Amino acid sequence: MQSTPAADRKGMLRAAELAVFALGHTSPNPVVGCCLVYRPGQPDERLLAEGFHRRAGDLHAEAAALSALSPEDRLLLPHATAYVTLEPCAHHGKTPPCADALVSAGIGRVVYGTVDPDPRVSGNGLRLLEAAGVVVEAAAPELQDWCRWINRRFLVSVEQQRPYLVLKWAQTPEGGMDAARTVEHPGPFPVSSPEAQVVVHRWRSEEDAILVGARTWDLDRPQLNARLVSGRAPRRLVLGTPSTPLPSDVTCFAAPEDALTWCTKNGIRSVLVEGGASVLASFLQAGLWDELRVLTQDRPWTPSVWAPPLPDNAQCLNGPEQVKRGFSKRMGATECGVYLRRTDHT
């Protein structure tokens, strides 16, 4: 079946765009998008249908796209390509296998973004398609990297058997995170702008859990929710032993490794670590991080708590790349810098 690199790129980018519509809603499942294109790259190319996985238990992306087909367009599937950001599943879970659904529908070609590392899939979906005579191709390397990026939480949690770890903090230009707490000035001393605080709440809604230290809990009694945006609230975790009472839905841990073990056992795919400084330092020193988000804004108070130093293997995204990945460089008066590991797929 003929196509062109430009047509395949367009199809996969659209599938990826669909996938991220459900970011923060599908866990423990991945985010997946699919679009069905008739004769891609040819003069009569036409988008037949598209879909994405909306939440765990709902239709998978391939099934959603197939269900959106008209009866007339279903007859065109032998000459169509399914662009899907993740290998179609080959196992029975809450929904039937997507690879079987594509074969039964008569799809002629499948282009996938990345292999699903779930042991129940892990190439089985591709082999099932090929055995049925479907043409199966991997997306171009650049697009594979993009598909890994949008599904980084799921992929890291499956491949490394721990949640994807985002460390976030706000600091002044000289690196201050907090001022001295006194009876007259008990704090908290916010650093970031109101615009940045809304963005942080969106970030919270995209992760499965949020973690702070016992000192932060005792001093600030943070709500640790996503109240400034419409989205789900993450599970609330505390590192250490607070001296003030904890609600029943807050879970405590003695060490970062304990928290990660519990998260893995409970299907937590990602954790946003918000501080304080000693908690952030403990994760960094143990090499337990995947992504750093640093907010910077000038403040009139004198710092008494300092942000941890950046690791040697932290690579700052340049401006265009940061924006491409969905992070604004500036939120009101607050600047945002995003750092990734040099050795990770990014």
Residues with catalytic function? 62
Q: Which of 332, 326, 334, 305 is nearest to 166 (CA)?
A: 326
Under a CB-based contact definition with an 8 Å cutoff, are residues 182 and 208 in contact?
no
Distance CA 308, CA 321 (A): 24
Distance of alpha carbon 252 from alpha carbon 218, whole angstroms = 13
Look up tokens 């005579």; give the residue.
133
For residue 105, which phi and psi values (nearest 5 degrees)? -75, -15
**CA-based nearest residue to 115, from 106, 123, 124, 107:** 123
Local structure of residue 233 (DSSP, 8 states): P
The tokens describing 162, both together, are 């721990």
The residue whose two tokens read 């190319």 is 45
The tokens for 1 are: 């079946």
Alpha-carbon gap, residue 42 to 53, rounded angstroms: 28
What are the angstrom distances between the C-alpha of 6 and each of 12, 33, 42, 262? 10, 19, 11, 44
CA geometry: angle at 33 spanning 26 and 267, to 5°? 25
Nearest by Cα to 106 from 85, 75, 70? 75
Beta partners for residue 34, in sequence order: 51, 84
Instruction: Describe the chain by its helix, strand, coil percentages, rounded to 5.
Output: 30, 25, 45
Q: Which residues contact 223 (CB under 8 A, 6 or more apart)?
A: none
Taking the C-alpha atoms of residue 215 and residue 62, their distance in angstroms, rounded to an integer, is 47
